[in-house]
Structure 1
Amino acid sequence: MDLFSNLALGFSVAISPMALLICLLGVSLGMVVGVLPGLGAITAIAMLLPVTYYLEPTHALIMLAGIYYGAAFGGSTASILLNLPGTPSSAITALDGYPLGQKGKAGVALLVAAMSSFFGGTVGVLLLATVAPALVKVALSFSSAEYFSVMLLGLIAAVTLAEGSPIKGLIAVAIGLLFGLVGADPQTGSVRYGFGIPQMFDGFSLVAVVMGLFGVAEVMANVGNDSGHRATHRISFREMLPSRAELRQTIKPILRGSAVGSAVGILPGTGVVVASFMAYALEKKISKTPERFGQGAIEGISAPEAANNACTQTTFIPTLAIGIPGDAVTAIMLSALILHGITPGPTVIASQPDMFWGLVVSFWIGNLILVIMNIPLVGIWVKLLSIPYRLMYPSIILFICIGVYSVNNSVFDIFVALGFGLLGLFMRMIGLSTAPLLLGFVLGPMMESHFRRALTLARGDLGVFFDRPVSAVFLLLCALFVVSWIISARRTKRKKANAG
C-alpha cells in the first residue's frame, strides 16, 4: 500500500464517530491536566490505563495519545501565566513565556505557543507517516556510544541556558548530575547516596523535582506579594495577534524547533524534555541578541513549543515500530498494547495497519481540535492573571501536592518537592539558572548507563566513542561548542577591558 492508501485507511478509522469522540475526550483531558500545575500526562494516563481495557486497542491508544500531546499542548499555559510548568517538558517555556506575560503580552505568548505547537505537531505527524521505516533503521543503528555522545551534546548545549556566564551553567548542570546519581546503580544494583532511606533507593521523582524547582520556588519567591497578577481589561482576539516583527521572529524558530523535536523524538529514551531544551539552546546560540533570552524573547516560546509537540508525535516511531518507549509516557502506552494482546515491535505496522494509520491520522485531527479549542480559551486563561496571590498560591500548592503524591503515592515525594523548592529559591538568590540543573538531572542517569554499557562492550576502550562515525561527529560538535564559549568569553573580556 502506498502512502495515500495508508492515509485513506487511517482517515476511515479516525473519523468514525466513536474515534472522534475518544480523540476529543483524550485531548480535552490532556489539555486540562497540562494547564493545571502539579498534574501531568503520566498521572492521567496511569490512572486511566485500566479503563482502556474496555476499549478497542485503536480507541485505547487514541485516547492515551490524546492525553499525551494534549498535555504537551496545554502545559505552556501555566508556564506563561504563572511560571509553573504544567508538564516537565514545558519548563523551558517559562523562561521567556512568563516574562513576556508580565510585560502585558500574555495573550500573544499563549497564541504563539498554540500555533507553534500545532505546526510542530503537524510536522511530527507528517514525518511519522512518510519516513517512519527509514528513520526506524537509523535509530536501530545507534549503539550506546552514539546515545552517550548525543546526550553529552545536549548537556553541553544546556549550559547556554544559564543566565550569566557559562560557569554558572556548568555549576547548575553539575548539581543536576549529582542528584541524578541518587538511587540504585544501574549495573550493580547497589544504592548510592541513599542514606538508609528506602524511598531514595529508586532516586528522586522527576515530577517532584520539576514541581519543586519551578512551582514551589515560585510560590516562595512571591510570599508576601499580595498584588497578584492583574488583567486590566478584557483581552480581545486582535490583542492576541503578534505583530509583524514578532511573527517574523517566530517563523524560523518554529521550523528549527520542529526539526530538532522530530529528530530527538526518533531516538528512543530521550523524550520531549530533551527536545525542548535543545531547541531553546539552539535558538539562544544562533541569536544575534542572546541577552534577550530569559527576558521575554518570543523565539524562546515558539522554538521549544514546536520541538515539544513534534517530539511528542515522532516518539511513537520507536514506541510502535521498535517496541522501545520514547519516554515514560509511551512506556505506559506499551503496557496498553500488551494489555490488549499486541506485541510491540517491527511487525506492528504490518500486522495492525488500521491501528497504526488510524492513530497517525488521529494525531493530526487531535492537534487541530486543540488549536480550535485553545484559541477561544486564551482569554479565559489570561483572566487567571487577575486572581490575587493570596488566593491563587494555596490552590497551586494543593495541586502540586496532589500531583506529586499521586505519581508514587508517596508523602516523601512531597518533602522532596519542598526541598527542591528551597534549592530553587536559593539558586534564584545567587543567580543560578534551574533549567540546566533539570536537564542534568534528566540526562545524567541515561548518560551513565550508555557510557558504562559502551565501555563494557568495548572492554574498557575509550576509543569506541571515536571509532564510530556518528558518535565522533557528536563529540566534534561538543568540542566546537566549548571552543565557541572560550572565544566568546575572550571577546567579552576584551570589550570590558577596552570600555574600562
Structure 2
Amino acid sequence: MVDFSWWDSLAQGLAAVWGWQALGLIALGVLVGSVFGVLPGLGPVAAIALLLPATLGLPSLPALLVLAGVYYGAQYGGSLPAIVLDQPGEASSVMTSHDGHPMALQGRAGVALSMATISSFAAGCLAIALVVLLAPAVVSLGLQFGAAERFLLLVVGLVGATVLASGSFLKALAMTVLGLLLGLMGWDVHTGTARFVPEGLEPWMGRHHGLTEGVGFIALALGFFVVAPVAAELAGLSALAPAAPVRETPPGTPVVSGMATRPTREELKDALPALLRGTGLGAVLGVVPGGGALLSSLAAYRLEVVVSRHRTPPLGQGNLRGVAAPEAANNAGAQTAYLPMLALGLPPNTVMALLLGALGLHAIEPGPSVMGVQPSLFWGLLVSMWVGNLLLLLLNLPLARWWAPVLLGVLRVPRRALLAGLLVAAGLGALALGPHGWGVWLVIGLGLLGFVLQRLGCEGVALLLGFVLAPGLEEQLRRTLRLSRGDWFVFLERPVSALLLMVAILLLLVVVLQPRRRAPD
C-alpha cells in the first residue's frame, strides 16, 4: 500500500509547478528541446549548454524546469527526422530509424510517428512513477552515509563512468583527471590560496576576474559542447553530423505521405509487449553510469531483434515493434537517470552532469539533502516531467501531419548559417561570465582545447563528470580526514565504505585485466 506521504509530496510538487509561469517555462523547454532534437546532430547537450547563461536570472526551480524540458523534448523531437528522412536528430533516435523510415517509405509515416509518440509518453510516465516510488528509499539510504561513504560513492560513480566510456580507457581516465583539475582550479576557500594557476599570470588574472575565480561551469559547457563541436564541423570533421549513415531515398518516393494515418488497435496491441520490454530495460539502464537514453535504445532494439525474430515483417523492414521498443527505452532511460542525480548527486550521463552543474549555479548542494532542504524543488521537478510528457503528447500526436513540412523547411537552412548562429548564441552567453570580455576569451580557449582533445580521440563526457564532481569529492575527503584526524584507514574500517572501495577497485581491474582489443586493419 502506498504511503500517504507520497501523495502529500506529489501535491507539494504539483503546487510548485501549477501556474502560468511554471507551465509556460515547461512548454518553452519542451519546444526548444523538440527543435534541437529535430536538427540532426545537435540534441539536448548543446541546447542545455546554450540555455545555462539565460537561466542564471531565474530562481532554481524555474531554471531546472526549462532545462529538464529541453532534455525529454529532444527525445521526442529526434524521432521525427529519423522516421521521415532517416536522419536521426538525436543520437538515441538512431535505432528508431531502422524501422521507422522503411514505414515512411511505405506510406505509413503517421503510424510510425504516432507509435513513437505513444511509446515515449507511456514509457516516460511509467519511468517517472518508478522514480517517485524509489526516490524516498534511495534518499533515506544516502542520508545514512557518512563523509567516507559519500566520498567513495562519488568515486565509484566517477570510476564507473570512466570504465564504461566508449573508446580508450586511458584517454577517458586522462579526461577525468583533467576535469578534476579544472574543477579544483581557483581559490581554495579553506587555505585562501590559488590552485593550479600559473604564478606569473595570477596578478593579471586577479584584476580581471580570471582563473583565480575558477574556470566556471557555464564556460566549460559552452566551450566543450558548443564551440568545440562547431569548430570540428567547420573544420570538416562532421562532429555534428547525423549519428548514423543516411540511407538513400529512392527518387520520387513520397516520404511524407501517410502522415494522417494512425496505428490500428491490433497494431497497438501487437506493439505493447515491445513497449513494455523497452520501458523496463530503459528504466534499468538509465541509472547505470554511462547509460541513459542512447544505451537504453540500443539495448532495447537489440533485444527486440532477438525476441521478435519470427515476426513479419522482420525488424529492419518496417516492423512497428522496432519503433516502439527503442522509443520507449530512450524515454524511460532519460527519466530514471534523474534518480541517482537528484537522490545521490551522481550524474549517470552528460545531460545529468549539466543539470547537476545547474544546481550548483543556484547554490544548491546536490545529493540526498535536496529532498529535505528544498522539497518543492525536488518534487516539483518530478511532477513537471509528467506535465511535460503530457504537453509533448498533445503537441506531437494531433499535429504530426504538420511537422513534416516544417521539418523540411528547417532543414533547408544552410548548415553554416546554423553553426554561425550557435557561435553567436554562445558568445552572448559568454559575455555574462565576466567583465572586460574575459568570459568570451575563456569560452574560446576551452573550445579550442576541446577541439584539440576531440582530434586526439578524447571525449568531453568524462571531463565534464570530473569537473562537476570535483568540489563534492574534495569536500567529503576533507571532512572524512578531519573526523578521522588524518587516518586514511577510516575507509577500510567502515563496512559500507570498504565495500564501495572494493567496487571501485574491481571496476578498474575489469579494464586492466581484460584482453587488449586488436586494432582494426
Global fold match (TM > 0.5): yes
Higher mean displacement: 412-421 or 400-409? 400-409
CA shift at 1:240, angstroms?
A: 12
Runs of 5+ unmatched residues, structure 2: 37-45, 82-87, 102-108, 250-254, 303-322, 346-354, 365-369
- Please state whether the residue corresponding to 1:489 is helix, strand or coil: coil
Map of 2:387 onto structure 1 = 365
Map of 1:204 onto structure 2 = 215
* Structure 1 CA distance for aligned equivalents of residues 409 and 175 of structure 2: 35
Map of 1:165 onto structure 2 = 168
- Please state whether the residue corresponding to 1:201 is helix, strand or coil: helix
Structure 1 counterpart of 2:414, from 388, 406, 415? 388
Alignment of 1:255 onto 2:265: no
Give CA-to-partner distance per residue, 1:246-274, whole Å, 9 cap, x none: 979844541213455xxxxxxxxxxxxxx
CA contact (8 A) 2:171 2:458 kept: yes
* 1:186-225 matched pairs, under 5 angstroms: 186-194=189-197, 195-196=201-202, 197=205, 198-223=209-234
Map of 2:319 onto structure 1 = none
* 1:300-311 matched pairs, under 5 angstroms: 306-311=332-337
CA shift at 1:125, angstroms?
A: 4.6
CA contact (8 A) 1:113 1:305 kept: no
* 1:87-486 matched pairs, under 5 angstroms: 96-97=91-92, 119=123, 122-128=126-132, 130=133, 133-194=136-197, 195-196=201-202, 197=205, 198-223=209-234, 234=256, 250-260=278-288, 277=290, 279=292, 306-312=332-338, 327=356, 329-330=358-359, 346=372, 361=383, 363-373=385-395, 376=399, 379=404, 380=406, 384-406=410-432, 411-486=437-512
CA shift at 1:365, angstroms?
A: 2.8
Letter in 2 for 1:123: A
- Which has a greater percent of helix? 1
CA contact (8 A) 1:69 1:309 kept: no
TM-score (norm 1): 0.66
Letter in 2 for 1:160: V
* Structure 2 CA distance for aligned equivalents of residues 201 and 239 of structure 1: 60
* Structure 1 CA distance for aligned equivalents of residues 217 and 490 of structure 2: 31
Distance 1:113 1:441, change over 3 A: farther
Map of 1:489 onto structure 2 = 515
CA contact (8 A) 1:175 1:440 kept: yes
CA contact (8 A) 2:149 2:496 kept: yes
Letter in 2 for 1:137: S
Alignment of 1:71 onto 2:100: no
- Please state whether the residue corresponding to 2:210 is helix, strand or coil: helix
* Structure 1 CA distance for aligned equivalents of residues 504 and 294 of structure 2: 13
* Structure 2 CA distance for aligned equivalents of residues 314 and 408 of structure 1: 33
Letter in 2 for 1:177: L
* Structure 1 CA distance for aligned equivalents of residues 387 and 340 of structure 2: 16
* Structure 2 CA distance for aligned equivalents of residues 400 and 240 of structure 1: 40
Higher mean displacement: 215-224 or 103-112? 103-112
Give CA-to-partner distance per residue, 1:290-345, whole Å, 9 cap, x none: xxxxxxxx9999777645433547866689xxxxxx9454567789xxxxxxxx98
Structure 2 counterpart of 1:46, from 56, 63, 66? 56
* Structure 2 CA distance for aligned equivalents of residues 300 and 201 of structure 1: 46
CA shift at 1:442, angstroms?
A: 1.8
Give CA-to-partner distance per residue, 1:119-140, whole Å, 9 cap, x none: 4565345543x45554443222
Distance 1:347 1:175, change over 3 A: closer
CA shift at 1:25, angstroms?
A: 0.8
CA contact (8 A) 2:163 2:169 kept: yes
CA contact (8 A) 1:30 1:66 kept: yes
CA contact (8 A) 1:172 1:434 kept: yes
Higher mean displacement: 211-220 or 408-417? 408-417
* Structure 2 CA distance for aligned equivalents of residues 462 and 280 of structure 1: 38
Distance 1:110 1:384, change over 3 A: farther
CA shift at 1:435, angstroms?
A: 1.9
* Structure 2 CA distance for aligned equivalents of residues 13 and 420 of structure 1: 38
CA shift at 1:416, angstroms?
A: 2.2
Map of 1:30 onto structure 2 = 29
CA shift at 1:114, angstroms?
A: 9.7
Higher mean displacement: 94-103 or 363-372? 94-103
Distance 1:47 1:78, change over 3 A: farther
CA contact (8 A) 1:162 1:168 kept: no
- Please state whether the residue corresponding to 1:390 is helix, strand or coil: helix
TM-score (norm 2): 0.64
CA shift at 1:148, angstroms?
A: 1.5
CA shift at 1:487, angstroms?
A: 3.2
Distance 1:383 1:346, change over 3 A: same
CA contact (8 A) 1:169 1:432 kept: yes
* Structure 2 CA distance for aligned equivalents of residues 178 and 300 of structure 1: 37
CA contact (8 A) 2:223 2:446 kept: yes
CA contact (8 A) 1:279 1:303 kept: no
Distance 1:442 1:209, change over 3 A: same
Give CA-to-partner distance per residue, 1:59-78, whole Å, 9 cap, x none: x95x5553242133235589
CA shift at 1:485, angstroms?
A: 1.3
CA contact (8 A) 1:161 1:169 kept: no
Letter in 1 for 2:141: V
* Structure 2 CA distance for aligned equivalents of residues 284 and 488 of structure 1: 26
Higher mean displacement: 176-185 or 452-461? 176-185
* Structure 2 CA distance for aligned equivalents of residues 236 and 364 of structure 1: 30
Runs of 5+ unmatched residues, structure 1: 50-59, 83-92, 261-274, 290-297, 320-325, 336-343
Letter in 2 for 1:403: G
Give CA-to-partner distance per residue, 1:389-408, whole Å, 9 cap, x none: 22211111112222343466
Map of 1:266 onto structure 2 = none
CA contact (8 A) 1:24 1:369 kept: no
* Structure 2 CA distance for aligned equivalents of residues 47 and 207 of structure 1: 14
* Structure 2 CA distance for aligned equivalents of residues 475 and 144 of structure 1: 14
CA shift at 1:202, angstroms?
A: 2.5
Letter in 1 for 2:171: K
Distance 1:96 1:45, change over 3 A: closer
Letter in 2 for 1:310: T
- Please state whether the residue corresponding to 1:415 is helix, strand or coil: helix
CA contact (8 A) 1:9 1:357 kept: yes
Give CA-to-partner distance per residue, 1:9-59, whole Å, 9 cap, x none: 96699599x93644431211222454564555644443343xxxxxxxxxx
Map of 1:54 onto structure 2 = none
- Please state whether the residue corresponding to 1:461 is helix, strand or coil: coil
CA shift at 1:410, angstroms?
A: 7.5
Q: How many aligned residue pairs are there?
A: 433
- Please state whether the residue corresponding to 2:145 is helix, strand or coil: coil
